[in-house]
Chains A and B, each alone.
Chain A
Amino acid sequence: MITLDGVTVRYADSPVAVLDDVTLHIPEGDLALVAGQTGSGKSTLLGCLTNLVPRFTGGHRTGRVVLDGTDITSAAPRELADLIGYVGQNPLAGFVTDTVESELAFGMEQLGVDPSRMRVRVEEVLDLLGITDLRRRALRTLSGGQQQRVAIASVLTARPRVLVLDEPTSALDPVAAEDVVSLLSRLVHDLGLTVVMAEHRMERVVEFCDRVILVSRGSVRSGEPREMLSVSPVAPPLVELGRRSGWSPLPLTIRDGRRTARAERTAWREHPPVLGTLAAATGEGLVADGVVVSYGSLVAVRGATLTAGAGLVTALVGRNGCGKSSLLWAVQGSGSRKAGRITIDGMPAVPGDVALVPQTASDVLYLPTVAEELALADADADRSAGSAGRILDELVDGVERDQHPRDLSEGQKLALVLAVQLVREPRVVLLDEPTRGLDYAGKAALTRILRGQADAGRTVVIATHDAEFVAATCDRVVVMAEGEIVDDGPARDIITSSAMLATQCARVYAPVELLTVAEVLTARAAS
């Protein structure tokens, strides 16, 4: 269906090519997953298929792109609108109109589709994606999952033959993400659509995909999922476990995994492995008592009482829009708070006690270089010059001081924002969705950083959707729903008892309470 022939992409004043002489073929009707580390060129590869690279990104591209026998190398993206549908990372940023129905029609209006045909197609696509009751809704009022569905619907109405998606589930909670992935798989099976998608959290997609395209350091390899995943530098936990255990064939689904691990599981059920003991809190830490946050008539947090012990990492989980962010901002003190008392180790919180890394970390950064940001942080906190810099170096290696903060990788940006806040030596650190845009290596690094902060006696609270990250990082889990706290307990208990939060390892070994690959390996070494 799509063939790339000797495609090379080089961005301005960069000596390294993002894609170097890439030759790739994607057959018709495949669901292809583009995988690779952060910054490896996944988005660039997708951009080459839609010709948005280099038109909207700058840079220089050579080579040929052939779609179904036609050379489209020099075609403008608008000429491809009825052949290739493209859904970007943030669906809201790509919406042109204001309501669902007119958004669905926009593409067809450009193509000059006959009005009566247009009407029929809109109805069909509304049904196909199950968004009929959203048709008159304003786009801005939709939830993340609904927005993603509408974005997919709005390109489907043009009847493209290929659908290209850039991280369609990265901003969604587990349920919404699962929904979108199964929707895509249905489109592939029912409509014979060719789907190419990039995704960080591969664990949801690998079982559906027909082909994995690995991008690393400019080169691209593609092939059968099992074959590619056995050599991939990024792999979901289940595949990681399979590789470490030497399982063949490599398990891609929980069912495969459970079948392969049956013997081990039965053995462990009879002689449960010795699990690591729970870290104990070194102090009372943060207590936010009876917090209420409301915006007009909308109640975001309904008298929630959050406790997070010092020296522990606490996860705050719950679906999109359940009030996690509002609670964190209220605890920090910058967000609105209608009621509630915040104490730290029994004392009322004072400004500077609580640091918060917001969801869009770069909002906090506005100076042209990393060095200036660090100097400003030192000055603000009345610390000697270089304090923030030292913290940054402890967190991550090799952040160039003369770089623009916006040019840093997501992980580096996060570390910089953290360093800038930690220089004031807060006793509580809050993070709002820190794992968005991080690959497995980035998450592992963040885990190390946060455990380090907890070991130093700080209280760390993370609002997140990422079950695997919670399992690897957190001691306690607090579950929120509709602005209230509905569950609170040790991470192991909550994760293993929840259908949605369970990690892949937990599902494979249930009822044995093992959460991560590392734990399984330790348990194995011990027995």
Chain B
Amino acid sequence: MVHRTVDRASTIGLGEGSDEGSAPRRRENLLARPRPPKVAAVSSAVASVRSGWAVYRLPRSLHPVAWWLWALGIMTAASLTTNPLVEGLLLAAATFVVVSRRDDGPWARSFRLYAILGAAVFVVRILYRIVFGGGDGDHVLFTLPRIPLPSVVAGVRLLGPVSLESILYGAYDGLQLGTIIVVVGAANSLASPRRLLRSLPAALYEIGTVLVVAVTVFPQLAESAARVARARRLRQSSAQARSWRERSRLVRGLVVPVLADALDSAISLAASMDARGFGRAPAGSRRHRVMAALTAFASVGCLMVFAYDLVSGTLPSVALGSVVTVHLRDALLVAGVLAALLSIRLSGHGVRRSRYRPDRWLLPELLTVACGFAPVAAVAAVGAGPDAAALSPAILPTLDIPTLPLPLLVAAVVALLPSAITPPAPVATSEATA
């Protein structure tokens, strides 16, 4: 601000002048009137913040893991409450972030499918309540003719009186499930699973590549099936025999060429990958390989004993000092996971392979994850406080109007923040998705 006032004063002082002449004279003016040191410091701070913000806002794709963690947080919060107001807010937040931050890749368009699926789940849940009833209360909305059923299926009823309570049960459930589905869709369209696979650790690179290839090949398979099905129609006789033999022939006519095609393309893909060096990176030094194998073995051992104890419950707790008591089973779980992580790290050690434009983990990623987990924190706080009932509004015996405690409202707004505080998605070239 300070900087700008000085600027304006000097330009006004110049009066009319050609554009070429104005720049040097303005500088002169500034030099003639030295600014106080404090103003200079503030203005340089403002300038650096402004340039920092400009760099921060440069369009780029966020690290895929950040989006998935953000979604995981929202999903966790959504699954901890049945309050329709909270669910609705979370749903809106996730949708808004998707709309403002997805790129224009093919995956980004998948969000619509998830939204449709979520809506379908919601509707089906309500229909289910209308047809089968359950959780019925006093507020009967309307009565459908009841379909009598034989006594064998006593306890199941079809149609009959439909109460508000019953429908609300269905609606709350459906909204919760629908929200979770939509949030998964949000993560999917913000960061495609393919990009997520690319950020796997080096030791899992081969598996990741195989999965990526599988994802790529799948649409090809569908395409070649469509092509063969079309070609097959060329040979169909005009008088269609509907015999079993005829049908098996039709299936064979589709399956054989498609499989032959798939096999051919698998072999040529494998040849191409090999010719381009896939699998050539050596697996690190012998020492690392041995260590990796040992830690993997230790990890599996720990986890097996843990699983055994989960069922049998024979391991004791160990007291560490007078305050802390550690259950041996939990210790095994932690040790097993740590050993697994160490093993992955060791086996990836010394692999001579590199990543093209790896996704970076910077401040926006951290903020996004934090925003995603804000609702979880809010739900936990509300659950521990006096408003705990607001998390699951009662329907029976008394019908409560859902309320929205302030922390939950704030948390939902925070979950929405990534739509503003993250850098925008890169704009692809004009024909990117032609």
Residues of A whose CB lies within 8 Å of any CB of B are: 50, 52, 55-56, 76-82, 84-86, 88-90, 93-98, 101-102, 105-115, 118-119, 122, 133-138, 140-141, 154-155, 158, 329, 332, 334-335, 351-352, 355-356, 358, 360, 362-366, 377, 380-382, 406, 420-421
Asked if residues A366 and B252 are in contact (CB atoms below 8 Å), the reply is yes
Asked if residues A96 and B272 are in contact (CB atoms below 8 Å), the reply is yes
Asked if residues A364 and B277 are in contact (CB atoms below 8 Å), the reply is no
Q: How far is the CA of A177 from the CA of B302 in the complex (A)?
A: 61
Which residues of B sit under 8 angstroms from A134, Cβ to Cβ?
Answer: 429
Q: Which of B7-15, B151-159, B208-216 binds A? A: B208-216
B273 contacts the other chain (Cβ, under 8 Å)? yes
Which residues of B sit under 8 angstroms from A363, Cβ to Cβ?
Answer: 227-228, 231-232, 257
Which residues of A sit under 8 angstroms from B227, Cβ to Cβ?
Answer: 358, 360, 363
Asked if residues B277 and A52 are in contact (CB atoms below 8 Å), the reply is no
Q: How far is the CA of A377 from the CA of B269 in the complex (A)?
A: 34
Q: How far is the CA of A203 from the CA of B236 in the complex (A)?
A: 40
Given contacts A360-B231, A421-B234, contact A110 B431 (CB under 8 A): no
Asked if residues B356 and A122 are in contact (CB atoms below 8 Å), the reply is yes
Residue pairs across A and B with Cβ atoms less than 8 A apart, 30 shown, are A52-B271, A52-B275, A77-B271, A78-B277, A78-B279, A80-B275, A82-B277, A86-B271, A86-B275, A94-B271, A95-B272, A96-B209, A105-B357, A109-B355, A113-B354, A115-B354, A115-B357, A122-B356, A133-B431, A134-B429, A137-B434, A141-B433, A154-B276, A334-B230, A358-B231, A363-B227, A364-B232, A366-B253, A380-B236, A381-B237
Which residues of A sit under 8 angstroms from B431, Cβ to Cβ?
Answer: 133, 137
Q: How far is the CA of A136 from the CA of B235 in the complex (A)?
A: 41
- Smallest Cβ distance from B368 to chain A, in angstroms? 23
Q: Which of B77-85, B135-143, B160-168, B260-268 binds A? A: B260-268
Which of B234, B267, B428 has the most chain A CB atoms closer than 10 A to its own CB? B234
- Smallest Cβ distance from A283 to chain B, in angstroms? 23
Question: A356 — nearest CB in chain B belongs to which residue?
Answer: B234
Which residues of B sit under 8 angstroms from A377, Cβ to Cβ?
Answer: 235
User: Which residues of chain B in 269-285 are interfacial with respect to chain A, using CB atoms and an 8 Å cutoff?
Assistant: 269-281
Which residues of A sit under 8 angstroms from B279, Cβ to Cβ?
Answer: 78, 110
User: Which residues of chain B in 222-242 are interfacial with respect to chain A, using CB atoms and an 8 Å cutoff?
Assistant: 227-228, 230-238
Which residues of A sit under 8 angstroms from B228, Cβ to Cβ?
Answer: 363
Which residues of A sit under 8 angstroms from B232, Cβ to Cβ?
Answer: 363-364
B311 contacts the other chain (Cβ, under 8 Å)? no
Complex partner residue of B270 from A56, A112, A141, CB under 8 angstroms: A56
B219 contacts the other chain (Cβ, under 8 Å)? yes
Q: How far is the CA of A133 from the CA of B430 in the complex (A)?
A: 9
Which residues of A sit under 8 angstroms from B358, Cβ to Cβ?
Answer: 115
Q: How far is the CA of A136 from the CA of B237 in the complex (A)?
A: 46
B112 contacts the other chain (Cβ, under 8 Å)? no
Given contacts A136-B429, A355-B234, A365-B257, contact A110 B278 (CB under 8 A): yes
Asked if residues B352 and A112 are in contact (CB atoms below 8 Å), the reply is yes
Which residues of A sit under 8 angstroms from B257, Cβ to Cβ?
Answer: 362-363, 365-366
Given A98-B216, A110-B276, A380-B237, 11 further pairs, Cβ under 8 A: A55-B274, A76-B274, A78-B280, A86-B275, A102-B356, A122-B356, A137-B434, A352-B238, A358-B234, A360-B231, A363-B228
Given contacts A362-B257, A363-B257, contact A110 B268 (CB under 8 A): no
Asked if residues B356 and A112 are in contact (CB atoms below 8 Å), the reply is no
Please give the number of chain B residues whose Cβ is less than 8 angstroms from any Cβ of chain A in the complex: 55
Q: How far is the CA of A108 from the CA of B270 in the complex (A)?
A: 17
Q: How far is the CA of A84 from the CA of B431 in the complex (A)?
A: 32
Q: How far is the CA of A85 from the CA of B275 in the complex (A)?
A: 7
Q: How far is the CA of A363 from the CA of B353 in the complex (A)?
A: 40
- Smallest Cβ distance from A468 to chain B, in angstroms? 27
Asked if residues A94 and B268 are in contact (CB atoms below 8 Å), the reply is yes
Which residues of B sit under 8 angstroms from A366, Cβ to Cβ?
Answer: 252-253, 256-257
Q: How far is the CA of A420 from the CA of B234 in the complex (A)?
A: 10
B106 contacts the other chain (Cβ, under 8 Å)? yes
Question: B228 — nearest CB in chain A belongs to which residue?
Answer: A363
Which residues of B sit under 8 angstroms from A365, Cβ to Cβ?
Answer: 257
Residue interface mask B281-296, A partner, CB < 8 A = 1: 1000000000000000
Which of A155, A362, A366 has the most chain B CB atoms closer than 10 A to its own CB? A366
Question: A333 — nearest CB in chain B belongs to which residue?
Answer: B233
Question: B106 — nearest CB in chain A belongs to which residue?
Answer: A138
Asked if residues B280 and A93 are in contact (CB atoms below 8 Å), the reply is no
Asked if residues A118 and B234 are in contact (CB atoms below 8 Å), the reply is no
B147 contacts the other chain (Cβ, under 8 Å)? no
Which residues of A sit under 8 angstroms from B430, Cβ to Cβ?
Answer: 133
Which residues of A sit under 8 angstroms from B354, Cβ to Cβ?
Answer: 108-109, 112-115, 118
Q: How far is the CA of A113 from the CA of B264 in the complex (A)?
A: 31
Asked if residues A136 and B428 are in contact (CB atoms below 8 Å), the reply is yes
Complex partner residue of A78 from B216, B238, B275, CB under 8 angstroms: B275
B345 contacts the other chain (Cβ, under 8 Å)? no
B194 contacts the other chain (Cβ, under 8 Å)? yes
B323 contacts the other chain (Cβ, under 8 Å)? no
Complex partner residue of B268 from A81, A82, A88, CB under 8 angstroms: A88
Question: A380 — nearest CB in chain B belongs to which residue?
Answer: B237
Asked if residues A112 and B230 are in contact (CB atoms below 8 Å), the reply is no
- Smallest Cβ distance from A464 to chain B, in angstroms? 19
Question: B427 — nearest CB in chain A belongs to which residue?
Answer: A136
Which of B233, B236, B252, B279 has the most chain A CB atoms closer than 10 A to its own CB? B233
Given contacts A365-B257, A406-B260, contact A77 B275 (CB under 8 A): yes
Complex partner residue of A110 from B216, B236, B277, CB under 8 angstroms: B277
B432 contacts the other chain (Cβ, under 8 Å)? yes
Asked if residues B235 and A111 are in contact (CB atoms below 8 Å), the reply is no
Complex partner residue of A77 from B106, B274, B356, B434, CB under 8 angstroms: B274
Q: How far is the CA of A81 from the CA of B430 in the complex (A)?
A: 33
Question: A381 — nearest CB in chain B belongs to which residue?
Answer: B237
Asked if residues A97 and B272 are in contact (CB atoms below 8 Å), the reply is no
- Smallest Cβ distance from B230 to chain A, in angstroms? 6
Cβ-closest 5 pairs across A and B: A81-B277, A94-B272, A105-B356, A110-B277, A363-B231
- Smallest Cβ distance from A244 to chain B, in angstroms? 39
Q: How far is the CA of A107 from the CA of B432 in the complex (A)?
A: 23
Which residues of B sit under 8 angstroms from A406, Cβ to Cβ?
Answer: 260
